[in-house]
């Protein structure tokens, strides 16, 4: 606490802290309440725990798979596929945006096609991808990339185009060429945009991976969900969904940390 703080300022800060703690407490309470009601209803037979599962059944299922190690395999496969497609999307997104920026004619030619591909529901492509690429991890990665890549190219290209023309003029007046504009202004100036785009992409890649795993996989959380529902092991399905929740929150937070790091250095 600073020495010259007025009582009013101290009161304000304390008030804000109290509010923050209250919000956190309510969040935890809400989760606990939902889990308790679910467990109690399942225990009393109000809902059929064979269909709706229950927190304790999910934990038991998780524990069994932890013992035989299969949970690591499935989660690991999904994480791997998500990260590979994420890196591909980021790379292709940046390169594609640079390519479109480098030629106005090309960007005008490609624009309607990119917009169309971006709004196409990508799950429609998945069956075709299986036929073309086979029943393997490659199909899943391509499916995931297709979900995110077009939007990424469009967003980044838009960002490049909205750079202040005077900044570009500055580079030219210092004797630079288009490559200098790219290296000195567009790329460094677009770092915040690239990162906020990454936040969107990591979520979309996870969606794409799960769609892909639904259709063609021998392992992964999406595979567990489909397999579990086919053999009526709904504990397995519910557990996979819970892990997916945790996974997506974790991946998103990882990018948020990266974002704060970058902002910190600027």
**Binding residues for other proteins, per CB under 8 A?**
164, 166-167, 169-176, 180, 184-185, 188-189, 191, 266
Number of H helices, E strands in the chain: 13, 0
Among residues 50 and 172, whose Cβ is nearest to other proteins? 172
CB of 132 to other proteins, least distance (A): 42
For 56, residues 6+ apart whose C-beta sits below 8 A from its C-beta are 39
Among residues 5 and 111, whose Cβ is nearest to other proteins? 111
CB 255 within 8 A of CB 202: yes
CB 147 within 8 A of CB 122: yes
Helix 191-215, helix 70-102: angle, nearest 10: 130
For 237, residues 6+ apart whose C-beta sits below 8 A from its C-beta are 53, 224, 225, 228, 229
CB of 259 to other proteins, least distance (A): 14
Among residues 6 and 173, whose Cβ is nearest to other proteins? 173
CB of 171 to other proteins, least distance (A): 7
Among residues 55 and 176, whose Cβ is nearest to other proteins? 176
Among residues 12 and 172, whose Cβ is nearest to other proteins? 172
Of the candidates 144, 140, 133, the one whose C-alpha atom is nearest the C-alpha of residue 86 is: 144
CB of 191 to other proteins, least distance (A): 7
CB of 107 to other proteins, least distance (A): 18
Helix (H) or strand (E) holding 202: helix 191-215
């Amino acid at each position: 606490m600073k020495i010259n703080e007025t009582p009013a300022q101290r009161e304000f800060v304390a008030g804000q802290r109290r509010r923050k703690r209250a919000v956190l407490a309510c969040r935890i309470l809400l989760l606990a309440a939902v889990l308790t009601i679910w467990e109690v209803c399942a225990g009393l037979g109000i809902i059929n725990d064979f269909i709706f599962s229950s927190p304790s059944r999910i934990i038991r299922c998780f524990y069994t798979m932890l013992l035989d190690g299969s949970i690591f395999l499935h989660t690991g496969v999904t994480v791997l596929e998500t990260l590979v497609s994420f890196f591909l999307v980021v790379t292709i997104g940046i390169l594609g945006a640079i390519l479109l920026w480098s030629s106005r004619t090309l960007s005008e030619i490609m624009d309607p096609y990119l917009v169309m591909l971006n709004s196409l529901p990508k799950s429609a492509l998945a069956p075709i991808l299986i036929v073309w690429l086979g029943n393997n991890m490659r199909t899943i990665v391509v499916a995931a990339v297709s979900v995110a890549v077009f939007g990424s190219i469009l967003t980044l290209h838009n960002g490049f185009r909205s750079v202040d023309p005077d900044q570009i003029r500055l580079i030219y007046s210092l004797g630079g060429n288009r490559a200098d504009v790219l290296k000195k202004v567009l790329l460094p100036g677009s770092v915040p945009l690239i990162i906020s785009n990454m936040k969107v992409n990591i979520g979309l890649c996870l969606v794409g991976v799960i769609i892909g795993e639904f259709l063609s996989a021998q392992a992964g959380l999406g595979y567990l969900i489909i397999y579990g529902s086919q053999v009526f092991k709904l504990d397995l399905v519910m557990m996979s969904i819970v892990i997916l929740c945790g996974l997506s929150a974790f991946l998103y937070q990882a990018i948020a940390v990266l974002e704060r790091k970058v902002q910190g250095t600027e």
